[in-house]
Chain A
Amino acid sequence: MATEMEAEICDALYADVGKPETEAHVHEISLVKSSCLFALKNLKKWMKPKKVHARLMTFPSTARITKEPLGVVLVISAWNYPLLLSLDPVIGAIAAGNAVVLKPSEVAPATSSLLAELLPRYVDSTCIKVVEGGVSETTALLELKWDKIFYTGNSKVGRMVMASATKHLTPVVLELGGKCPVVVDSNINLHVTAKRIAAGKWGCNNGQACIAPDFIITTESFAPKLLEALKKVLEKFYGKDPLLSEDLSRVVTPNHFNRLLDLMDDEMVSDKIVFGGQRDEQKLKIAPTIFLDVPLDSAMMKEEIFGPLLPIITVEKIHESFGLINSMTKPLAAYLFTRDSKLQKQFESTISAGGMILNDTSVHLTNPHLPFGGVGESGTGSYHGRFTFDAFSHGKAVLHRGFGGEAKARYPPYSSAKLKILKGVLAGKLGAHIQAILGFPRGK
């Protein structure tokens, strides 16, 4: 489907978010394909029961962990990567042997109806169904009993999903967002840094991505250099008039467009614009816009931006950035650009985030060996690669005992002699085991 229907998929993605064809290929179609191929390649391995060491305590015995499907699961996806965020979880759910209902986002209607139309043609539609709809359909779906619910979206709805799941005690995976910070030290390759930040911010759906850099923290002294580098890179990427560039996504809906305008035009920050600011209401496009030193209590610094606005916050010493990040809720991703390995180590141990990258942005999500997911406010559970398979499986413990190894000591009537043997057995003492198996203590 991903191969044959490429053109249609690109059209739908363009209709929904104005996604440039390259982003559609690189961020959605290619990732869906590689996810499928990865699952196909590894499925046998994932499905194989895993033998584990059975303890002396239950000798003779063998112990295994068997993966089994949870049953019927619900996947609710988001509008910014409407293909990827729908199919990636579904791939894992199917690999794990479940039946799936997919509820694509209604905010990306072209992709939603494309999935509803195409999926039944390519997969077993008795087990995999697409249900389209908005708030009321989603609410109705959430009332039903599922064996797992996988939700990608914002934390407000995430709370509602978890609250609905409570009724049937359904386990959930919540892939939410957060303000992904980028800490930029002065000890870097400036040009490469600027490019990677720009690619992660504006090259990802024009900032409308859960792992897009939300804001930058750098030192007062370095900020001007960083800003210059970013400006140069942006001009190279999108030309002198970014609103005319074909390589920038548009803002998804008028609602979000107005939300971003409110953030931009907020009088607390409107005088802090140092680059960009152009907007086209008709085309729903906003140019890459950079702010310098917006107040920390401005709306822009309190909410997840999810758009092409990039505030740069300055601190005196780079270490101060850690305290600032820790004063906010845990983000889905945190980024640090530096060659200083001590700073890297400190960042790794001090900052908690879903995932982190040193000297790049966003790319960790393409590595299927890394678990992708949030922590705290940015979500619970993780997926990608084998982790998706595990997210939709139950690891059932299976213990096989024989009838040998009968230990009288475990049964009543209890006595201090039996207790002594039990103590030895639980402490792993071989002598006690032997006594136990030989039927000690004698008598009752």
Chain B
Amino acid sequence: MGTMAASVEEIGAAAPQALELHALQHLGELRSTFESGRTRPLAWRQSQLRGLLRLLAEKEDEAFRALHDDLGKHRAEAYRDEVGVLIKSCNAALREVGKWVAPEKVWAPLVAFPANAQVVPEPLGVVLIFSCWNFPLGLSLEPLIGAIAAGNAVVLKPSELAPATAKFLEDNIGDYMDATAVKVIQGGPAVGEQLMEQRWDKVLFTGCPRVARMVMAAASKHLTPVALELGGKCPCIFDSASVGTGRNLQTSVNRVIFAKWSSCAGQACVAIDYILVEERFAPTLIKMLKSTLKRFMADSDQMARIVNARHFQRLTGLLKDPAVAASVLHGGKLDAKSLCIEPTILLNPPLDSAIMTEEIFGPLLPIITVKKIEDSIAFVRARPKPLAVYAFTNSAPLKRRIVEETSSGSVTFNDAVVQYGIDTLPFGGVGQSGFGQYHGKYSFEMFSHKKAVLKRGFLVEAMLRYPPWDEQKIAMMRHLYRYNYIRFIFTFLGLSRT
């Protein structure tokens, strides 16, 4: 990490004017490419997606190395959460893009006869994708797949906090994809700001609300449409009563651990942030979590590390509050040198402490107890809408209440995080967790404009459309708007009194 960070700092310290020129040149080239029509044919889009697949296959080892350098991710985790998901998405896009680009015929009323109405998807133009450091490959390339499938030219601005992956992208994308249409621009906040001074046809930002505001504010100057993928405190409602004991309980605990610690050590927008469980079941849950953690996380290399010193300090800070520190039941060991924090479980830290008001984004798991599991619903409702709500339960009434009474980007029952890989489900937030959805066909739509196209002939002319107006015309129009053709004909023939 040391050498990589130094080079990024060097970039960040370079003369602002030079960077600006650089970015502008790129943008100019991309505009020309787009305007030349190069990115529109289906064959081009498919060739780009194939190029991406080749990149993921041929450069797999380099990708794993970059993800390990940036975050200490094990190959299996890197494949499971990033590379593998990308291959799946890319293949699906290749299969489906022909269908996605097809115009959709819609109903045109008889009154417009002869007429033909269609909704035709078209690319927006030149789009900008900001990705985040926690899934630096996935969050860069998943949107890229959609943007390319939709026929756009793209600038990718990977996070400078995952510099090895950023460099990997910059070094390789141009070799596997059309470098006149897809560009990777590295850099820090200054570069991000300069990019946002330009007009884009769409910007997708994945990250935190603070920076999202800056992106949206800059975008509003050019009326650039934006999509924001933010996070939130994703709660996990653990209905021990209906889950029971035995295998289901073990399965649930496995999945909780997977969703909290196995995915980038909890540094994920869809990670479980905290658990809600009935008081009487808390001890059993905690016991099972501890024993399963021991099995899963025996070696320290099984879990990713914290991305950098700043975030390490932030997480350490969350535990400094004495009341919070007192609630730590398991773990809590911090190693500043290796940036590792062991899986930590807390029981009922104060609800107004930072750990319970901010998104944790790390391997600390507060367990909050409630008297009745149904009380969880009010607890979740009282807080900002998260990206995901999770619940482990077999109770159909509880499931229904959770879906109907809470609002979140998504809801998953009896598992967590896996919804990310299902491309038939839209992925995105609501309220504080953002707006705009992607994955699968939704990625294509995120970067498309659905143009309404109405074709008419000259044949049938409705005189009643035109001035000078009279009562008869008004009457006929009333009937037409209600698609009341019989009465229309009567009025037209003068057989009906107006």
Residues in A lying within 8 Å of B, measured CB to CB: 20-22, 25-26, 30-31, 33-34, 37, 52-55, 57-58, 61, 63, 65-66, 68, 70-71, 147, 155, 158-160, 162-163, 165-167, 169, 171, 174, 176, 188-189, 192-193, 195, 198-199, 203, 237-239, 245, 247, 326, 339, 344, 348-349, 352-360, 363-364, 367, 369-372, 375-377, 379-380, 382, 394-403, 406, 410-415, 418-419, 422-423, 426-428, 444
A348-B453 CB under 8 A given contacts A167-B213, A195-B461, A413-B302: yes
Asked whether A55 lies within 8 Å of B422 as measured between CB atoms, the reply is yes
A412 contact set on B, CB distance < 8 A: 74, 76, 262, 296-297, 302-303
A353 contact set on B, CB distance < 8 A: 451
- List the 9 closest pairs (A to B, CB-CB), nearest first: A414-B76, A355-B452, A426-B84, A162-B220, A22-B469, A397-B410, A171-B435, A397-B425, A412-B302
Asked whether B458 lies within 8 Å of A192 as measured between CB atoms, the reply is yes
Contact of B287 with A by CB under 8 A: no
A377 contact set on B, CB distance < 8 A: 223
Q: How would residues 212 to 233 of chain B score, 1 for a CB under 8 Å from any chain A CB and 0 otherwise?
A: 1100110111010100101000
In the bound complex, how far is the Cα of B302 from the Cα of A56, in angstroms? 26
- Contact partner, A34, options B212, B422, B456, B482, Cβ 8 Å: B482
Contact of B147 with A by CB under 8 A: no
Asked whether A426 lies within 8 Å of B85 as measured between CB atoms, the reply is yes
The chain B residue sitting closest to A170, CB to CB, is B435
Contact of B421 with A by CB under 8 A: yes
Asked whether A395 lies within 8 Å of B119 as measured between CB atoms, the reply is no
Q: A397-B419, A403-B248 given. 9 additional CB < 8 A pairs?
A: A31-B481, A57-B418, A58-B422, A162-B219, A169-B228, A396-B403, A401-B414, A413-B298, A426-B80
Smallest beta-carbon distance B78→chain A, Å: 10
Asked whether B84 lies within 8 Å of A356 as measured between CB atoms, the reply is no
In the bound complex, how far is the Cα of B230 from the Cα of A65, in angstroms? 20
In the bound complex, how far is the Cα of B50 from the Cα of A5, in angstroms? 61
The chain B residue sitting closest to A379, CB to CB, is B223
Main secondary structure of the interface of A (DSSP, over half): mixed
Asked whether A166 lies within 8 Å of B217 as measured between CB atoms, the reply is yes
- Contact partner, B117, options A33, A370, A376, Cβ 8 Å: A370
Asked whether A371 lies within 8 Å of B418 as measured between CB atoms, the reply is no
Asked whether A370 lies within 8 Å of B254 as measured between CB atoms, the reply is no
Asked whether A396 lies within 8 Å of B410 as measured between CB atoms, the reply is yes
Asked whether A247 lies within 8 Å of B468 as measured between CB atoms, the reply is yes
Asked whether B458 lies within 8 Å of A188 as measured between CB atoms, the reply is yes
Asked whether B108 lies within 8 Å of A367 as measured between CB atoms, the reply is yes
The chain B residue sitting closest to A158, CB to CB, is B223
Asked whether B422 lies within 8 Å of A63 as measured between CB atoms, the reply is yes
Smallest beta-carbon distance B234→chain A, Å: 13
Asked whether B228 lies within 8 Å of A364 as measured between CB atoms, the reply is no
In the bound complex, how far is the Cα of B286 from the Cα of A346, in angstroms? 65
Contact of B98 with A by CB under 8 A: no
A354 contact set on B, CB distance < 8 A: 451-452
Asked whether B220 lies within 8 Å of A400 as measured between CB atoms, the reply is no
Contact of B449 with A by CB under 8 A: yes
In the bound complex, how far is the Cα of B467 from the Cα of A7, in angstroms? 20
Q: How many residues of B sit at the interface, in one of the four size bands?
A: 35 or more
A398-B302 CB under 8 A given contacts A358-B453, A363-B112: no
A160 contact set on B, CB distance < 8 A: 220
Asked whether A364 lies within 8 Å of B454 as measured between CB atoms, the reply is yes
5 A-B pairs in the complex with CB atoms less than 8 angstroms apart: A247-B469, A355-B454, A364-B117, A369-B107, A413-B295
Asked whether A20 lies within 8 Å of B469 as measured between CB atoms, the reply is yes
A403-B252 CB under 8 A given contacts A195-B466, A423-B79: yes
A163 contact set on B, CB distance < 8 A: 217, 220-221
Asked whether B223 lies within 8 Å of A399 as measured between CB atoms, the reply is no
B469 contact set on A, CB distance < 8 A: 20-22, 247
B295 contact set on A, CB distance < 8 A: 413, 444
Contact of B290 with A by CB under 8 A: no
Q: How would residues 224 to 263 of chain B score, 1 for a CB under 8 Å from any chain A CB and 0 otherwise?
A: 0100101000000000000100011001101001100010
B252 contact set on A, CB distance < 8 A: 403
In the bound complex, how far is the Cα of B469 from the Cα of A83, in angstroms? 21
In the bound complex, how far is the Cα of B247 from the Cα of A303, in angstroms? 69
Contact of B423 with A by CB under 8 A: yes
In the bound complex, how far is the Cα of B122 from the Cα of A353, in angstroms? 10
In the bound complex, how far is the Cα of B451 from the Cα of A371, in angstroms? 8
- Contact partner, B411, options A357, A371, A398, A427, Cβ 8 Å: A398
In the bound complex, how far is the Cα of B74 from the Cα of A20, in angstroms? 72
Smallest beta-carbon distance A175→chain B, Å: 12
Contact of B283 with A by CB under 8 A: no
In the bound complex, how far is the Cα of B87 from the Cα of A427, in angstroms? 8
- Contact partner, B415, options A169, A195, A401, Cβ 8 Å: A401
Asked whether B466 lies within 8 Å of A375 as measured between CB atoms, the reply is no
In the bound complex, how far is the Cα of B488 from the Cα of A130, in angstroms? 36
B410 contact set on A, CB distance < 8 A: 396-399
Contact of B109 with A by CB under 8 A: yes
Contact of B455 with A by CB under 8 A: yes
A428-B455 CB under 8 A given contacts A169-B212, A203-B466, A413-B298: no
Q: How would residues 300 to 313 of chain B score, 1 for a CB under 8 Å from any chain A CB and 0 otherwise?
A: 00110000000000
Binds A, one of B16-24, B167-175, B183-191, B472-480: B472-480
Smallest beta-carbon distance A68→chain B, Å: 6
- Contact partner, A411, options B106, B122, B262, Cβ 8 Å: B262
A189-B201 CB under 8 A given contacts A53-B424, A159-B220, A399-B415: no
Asked whether B431 lies within 8 Å of A147 as measured between CB atoms, the reply is yes
B299 contact set on A, CB distance < 8 A: 413
A382 contact set on B, CB distance < 8 A: 450
Smallest beta-carbon distance A427→chain B, Å: 7
